[in-house]
Amino acid sequence: MSDVRKEFTKGLIKDNPVLRLALGLCPALAVSATVFDALGMGISVIFVLTMSNLIVSLMRKAVPPKIRIPIFIVVIATFVTIVEMVMAAYQPGLYQSLGIFVPLIVVNCVILARSEAFASKNSPFISIIDALGMGVGFTFALTMIATVREILGNGTWLGFTVAPSDFQPVLLMMLAPGAFITMGLILAWFNWMDDQKEKHLKATFMLDEKEAK
Amino acid sequence: MDFSNLLVIVVGSILINNFVLARFLGICPYIGVSKKLDSAIGMGMAVIFVMTIASMASWIIYYYLLHPETNIWGGYDLTFLRTIAFILVIASLVQFVEMVIQKTAPALYNSLGIFLPLITTNCAVLGVAVLNIDENYTFIESIVNGIAAGVGFTLALVLMAGIRERLELANIPKALQGVPIAFIMAGLMAIAFLGFSGLKVG
Amino acid sequence: MLIVRLGLILMFITAIASGTLALLNQHTSPIILEYKLKQQEEARQEVMRSQGGVKFEKVNSEEIGEFYKAYDEADNLVGYVSIAYGKGYSSTIETVAGYTTDFEVAGLKVTFQQETPGLGTKAVEVKKGDRKPWFLMQFEGKDATNLAVVQDRGNIDSITGATITSRAIAVSVKATAKEIKQAVEAMEKANDTQMDTEAAALEMNGEVTP
């Protein structure tokens, strides 16, 4: 059971695909202008990631190693197309605003990386857990960037007005530079937190040594 | 042949809607391979090459095999297979380019290292193929757009590499070192490129 | 031989994938098509509401493609509807445009755009208490063949920070209006001559008394 929890939680912060492994950066920047788009993209990625991890894991013994990458790509592309069709039919507004980034889920490195590094070596159940963890971590990172950008750039969150009425939106946050700068600062913040933790650990360690003496 | 139209596409893809700095395509190699100028140039050339051929191949496949009005199967709509078809074409193309470079330019092959196979998952390549279709470009326009998109990508990559080589010598706060400062640099470059959005062509 | 076997395996998997997608496509493609048709029909109703237009007749013109003639309940011609395509900042903007018979703008509705969120998308944003986007409302009642944004010394206030989007809509609607006006005038001319000849023919037969 602790194994399951470990595989799930590692994707959230410790090995967060976007913030730690620097995978899937394109959608993280491109569809993070509004929280709604970010959640839509996140859910699509969770679906594709889970299904492709499941299928890849089920096929892992039958797949000849030489052509495993093309096979993974076909599997992933199939689920991406399913998302594309279903979204176009039932969520046309979201489909329009995500635009080209729906078919581009295929080349979201997070998905291929999990197929190759995890699902092709592990049992179906644990692969699904891994996919859910990574997918939720991806969605979390996207939503975090989108929260900063939507509040500063438009004064809203998920479409609801949150800023005071005399708030002057920072238009730059909605544009490409805002995405890059937000991403850079969030990554720096994560690095800084790591540093603090390390320093703290070192300090307690030295304290322990002193006491031992 | 309308040349002003092609000029609009070229200027649009390189400057106004730069693939990296305005469309957010190809961010992974943009951050990953921009530490050294040499490898940035090599990567850029490989991407231009792959993008050009991918634009051609994907256009032909889309209009002759998938599109209901022009395909050779006589009207059956197979456009829903677009994503699968394109990614398979690109994957095989990259494999081919990798083999050619390995044979003809081993030095280049060594310096690009693991990033050549990564062109497959470079969303800029699939992105240009899909954009060509979404924008209803003709065959010639698609090729031109493919080249221009590759040049735009290379431009952003090489500029970034140039800056990052200098940054090595700068004293940056520890938390910002590496990838975070690269993103902030990219943000500043994107601000500069926003200036092109007022450009009127044609 | 190995390569053949590998190729066959890959082909087999691709075939299964394509088959699955084909099945799903049969289910979703009618829904997508229906949504598009419904969206277009609703847009036509909306842009002609101010003129009372409720019925639409498709006209296929060789020069400019198709557009619609709008009629009210009593079958009087009240205007024309067409789709205008304009190159915006990051997408081709599709606007359903309604014109009165005098080619004033009756109403506009943007049916497709992928502009920058928070900037270009303001073109479709509805202010609190309004029923339509403010940007599109200002077009109403203006001469459709003479539209331009303020930056081009025109009469349309553009969206702050999204001049390109604003310009794309104004320019494309204007261009489409001009085309339809020409086409309509050409058709009327043709109709007139035809009616004249018919009337003349009838007169000759003595069936019409002046």
pLDDT score, position C208: 47
C123, C66 contact by CB (below 8 A): no
Task: Write out the E strands in chain C.
Answer: 55-61, 65-71, 77-87, 92-100, 105-112
**Phi, then psi, of C143 in degrees rounded to 5:** -65, 115
Q: Is the pLDDT of residue C206 over 60?
A: no
CA pair distance C53, B82, nearest whole angstrom: 40
All chains having 3 or more CB pairs closer than 8 angstroms to chain B: A, C
- Total beta-carbon pairs less than 8 A apart between chain A and chain B: 127
Q: Which residues of B159-179 are buried (b: 16+ CB within 10 A; e: fewer)?
A: bbbebbeebeeeeeeebbebb
Among C11, C35, C40, C119, most A C-beta atoms within 10 A, so best to mutate, is C119
Say whether A88 and C32 touch across the interface (CB within 8 A).
yes
Q: Chain B contacts of C18, Cβ < 8 Å?
A: 81, 84
Identity of the residue in A66, A89, A154 whose CB atom sits nearest the CB atom of C118: A154
CA angle B55, B56, B61 (to 5 degrees): 100
For residue C210, the model assigns a pLDDT of 44
Mean pLDDT of B26-53: 86
Instruction: Report the residue of chain B nearest C24, measured CA to CA.
Output: B80
Please give the pLDDT value at position C203. Answer: 60
* Averaged pLDDT of chain B: 87
> How does C144-178 read in b/e, with b if 16+ C-beta sit within 10 Å?
bbebbbeeeebebebbebbbbbbbbbbbbbbebbe
- Average pLDDT of span C107-136: 85
Pairs of residues, one from chain B and one from chain C, whose beta carbons lie less than 8 Å apart:
18
Per residue in C6-53, pLDDT tens? 889 989 999 999 999 999 999 999 999 999 999 999 999 999 988 888
Say if residue B115's pLDDT is above 80.
no
Q: Does A78 touch chain B (CB under 8 A)?
A: yes
pLDDT, position B94: 84
Assess contact for A153 and A173: CB atoms under 8 A.
Answer: yes
Which residues in chain B touch residue A68, judged by CB atoms under 8 angstroms apart?
none
Residues in chain C within 8 Å Cβ distance of A153: 118
CA dist C77 and A59 (Å) reads 64
Mean pLDDT (chain A, rounded): 90
Give the pLDDT score at C19. Answer: 94
Sheet holding C92-100, edge to edge: C55-61, C65-71, C77-87, C92-100, C105-112
Which DSSP letter does residue B71 get?
-
* Paired tokens of A21: 């492994």
Measure A190 CA to nearest chain C CA, in Å. 27
For A157, the 3-state DSSP assignment is strand
C201 touches chain A (CB under 8 A): no
Q: List Cα–Cα distances, C96 to A212, B84, C67, C119, C169, in angstroms.
A: 79, 33, 10, 21, 10
With beta carbons under 8 A apart, name residues in chain B contacting C90.
Answer: 17, 22-23
Pull the structure tokens for residue B38.
């040499």
Contact A169 C118 (CB under 8 A): yes
The answer to whether B169 and B177 have CB atoms below 8 angstroms apart is no
Instruction: Return the residue matching tokens 């890849």.
Output: A56
pLDDT of residue B85: 93
CB-facing half-sphere around the CA of B1: CA atoms within 13 A: 7
pLDDT in tens, C56-105: 988 887 777 788 999 988 888 999 999 999 888 878 899 999 999 999 99
Residue B111: pLDDT over 70: no
Confidence of residue C198 (pLDDT cuts 50, 70, 90): low
Please name the member of A33, A85, A169 whose beta carbon is closest to the beta carbon of C28: A85
Please list every residue in chain C whose beta carbon sits closer than 8 Å to the beta carbon of residue B84.
Answer: 14, 17-18, 21
Cross-strand bridge partners of residue C57: C69
Terminus-to-terminus CA distance in chain B, angstroms? Answer: 15
Helix and strand element counts for chain C (H, E): 3, 5
Per-residue pLDDT for C202 more than 70? no
Nearest to C24 by CA among A131, A103, A40, A90: A90
Query: In angstroms, how far is CA B149 from the centroid of its own chain?
Result: 5
- Shortest CA distance from A191: residue in chain B: B175
Task: Indicate the pLDDT class of residue B200, thresholds 50, 70 and 90.
Answer: low
Smallest Cβ–Cβ distance between A180 and the set B121, B175, B190 belongs to B190
The overall average pLDDT reported for chain C is: 86
Residues of B in contact with A78 (CB under 8 A): 84
Q: What is the CA radius of gyration of chain B?
A: 18
Nearest residue to A88 (alpha-carbon basis) of A78, A97, A75 = A97
ipTM of the complex: 0.89
Q: Side-chain half-sphere of A1: how many Cα atoms within 13 Å?
A: 0
Mind listing the pLDDT tens digit for each residue in A16-57?
998 888 888 888 998 998 899 999 999 999 999 999 999 999
Q: What is the pLDDT of residue C66?
A: 84
Cβ of residue C92 closer than 8 Å to a chain B Cβ? yes
Q: Which of C14, C25, C90 sits opposite B80 (nearest CB)?
A: C25
When CB atoms are compared, the residue of C29, C113, C116 closest to A175 is: C116
Contacts of C29 in chain B (CB under 8 A): 77, 80
Of residues A95 and B73, which shows the higher confidence score? A95
**Nearest residue in B to C25, CA atom:** B80
Query: Which residue positions in chain A have pLDDT lower than 70?
Result: 1, 213
In the numeric block, which tokens belong to residue A129?
A: 């857990």
pLDDT at C209: 45
B81 CA: distance to closest CA in chain C (Å)? 7
The two structure tokens encoding residue B4: 């002003």
pLDDT over 90, % of chain C: 38
Q: How confident is the model at residue C200 (pLDDT cuts 50, 70, 90)?
A: low
Judge: C21–B23 Cβ closer than 8 Å, yes or no.
no
Give the percent of chain B with pLDDT over 70.
94
Q: What is the mean pLDDT of residues C168-179?
A: 92
CA–CA distance, C12 with C8 (Å, rounded to integer): 6
Sequence letter at residue A163: A
B114, pLDDT greater than 60: no
The alpha-carbon gap from C14 to the nearest alpha carbon of chain A, in Å, equals 7
Rounded Cα distance between A112 and A122, Å, is 15
**Is A188 an interface residue toward B (CB < 8 Å)?**
yes
Residues 99-128 of C with CB under 8 A from A: 112-114, 116-119
Backbone phi and psi for residue C112, each to the nearest 5 degrees, phi listed first: -150, 130
